[in-house]
Structure formats: C-alpha cells, structure tokens
Amino acid sequence: MNKLLNKIAVITGGNSGIGLAAAKAFVAEGAQAIIVGRRAEAVAVAVDELGAGATGLVGDVADLSTHARLETLITDRSGGIDIYFANAGTNTITPTEAVSIEEFDTQFATNTRGVFFGVQSALPLMREGGSIILTSSIASQKVLKGHAVYAGTKAAIEAFARSWALELKDRRIRVNVLSPGPVDTPILAKLGVAPEARSEFEVQTAQAIPLGRLGRPDELASAAVFLASDDSSFVTGINLRVDGGISLA
C-alpha cells in the first residue's frame, strides 16, 4: 500500500475498463486521480466511485482543446503531476479494402495524435522522476484480422515511447508501454460482440491464450501500478505485454 502516496495521476479514458481499474488502483495506493473521458455521465459515476480527491474532466483526447483544459485544471488544482497514463483509445475492426477515410482518421486522431499532444501538453507539468505510461496493444506486433489501421496507431505510440524515454532521461521521467491482450471490459460490446454471443466468444478466445482465459482489468491495473511506482524505478522504454501469452501463440 501507499506506493503512490501523494502522487497526482492523470488517466485518459479513466471512466471505464482498464482506465477506471487503473484509477482505482492508483487511488488505493495513495494517489489523487484526474480522469478524462468523453461521456459526462460515465465520468461523474467514475469520480463518485473513486472518492475524495478524484477529479473528472469531460473531453475527447482527439480534440486538442481537451489537453489545454486539462493543463489549466492541473495548474489550478495541484500545480503539477507525477503520472500520465495515456490510456484512451478507439478501434474499428475493418478489413483494409473496406476502411474509410473517416475510420482511418478517427483512429489515428485518438490513438496517436491524442497521445502525442497529450504528452506534449503534460510535460511542462510533470515533476522530475515522473512516469508516463502509454496503452498500446498486442496488435502492434501480432497480426489480427481487420486490425491494420489500429495496429498502425499503436505501433506509432510505441515508437514515441522509445524516443521519449531518451529525450526525458535528464528529468528522470520514465516512459513505458503497457500492451493488453484480450481483456474482459465493456469495449467487447463496442467491437460487435453481442451479449448472446459473449460466452462463445470467450471460449474461442480463451483457446488462443496460453493461460486459457481473458484478462481482467485489475490485472492490467496492477501492471500500471508497477510502471507508475518506484517498483519499476530502473525500468524505462519497455513494452510490458499483459496478455496471457497470446502474443507468443
């Protein structure tokens, strides 16, 4: 406990799934959380769950004005941050020949541009010795059907992380990537998995995972705590795959 005592953590996409689980884990370890999400109601519910000290900002990371508003919020509330977890993302599973310009631009705007300019905006506010965590995906390395654009967005931010790990070394800011495999979160429904097909999907997916099941959000949150805390004080520039071994299969 208290691995993140008195730390200020920003989590984009912090109102559900992995982001919310990470925010809860950060708070449990003593941090104050600032979560960013697009849906006002979901952000409000998440802040209520997180409890005293948590703050929510409604905004889309693809809209660069969101980062400016976040910067103002941080300056007014705490003056600086210690952890920036760029977790917000979007995915549309579409074969290459059917990808529209809108789909392409939407995914790159959120997953890549939103991450780059979010970090750029956060850097002046990050305290020395801070931690930046970027959520990528096993799709950046493992070919998945219909994921070409999504994989490209995630490969780009992995390149960002390697560059930033060196650029920020003099400030002792560590930059690492967290790559989930299949995780049991609400995003499954957004990817087209109907409620009645959920059990069959889980069985089929589990067969492809060496550990035999989907991951849990709290397992990704534990990995995020590791990367955010001094437990990983000698770790920077890595891609931590929390995927049950599926990237090996």
Place of tokens 């529209």: 100
Q: Which of 108, 150, 164, 226 is catalytic?
A: 150
Q: What contacts 24+ positions apart, CB below 8 Å, involve 93-101? A: 93/145, 93/146, 93/147, 93/150, 93/191, 93/192, 94/146, 94/149, 95/145, 95/146, 96/148, 96/149, 99/148, 99/149
Instruction: Based on the residue annotation, tell me whether 84 is a catalytic residue of this protein.
Output: no
CA distances 190 to 64, 81, 168, 185, 198, Å, are: 24, 32, 36, 10, 12
Q: Could you tell me the end-to-end alpha-carbon distance of the chain, in angstroms, rounded to an integer?
A: 35
Catalytic annotation, residues: 150
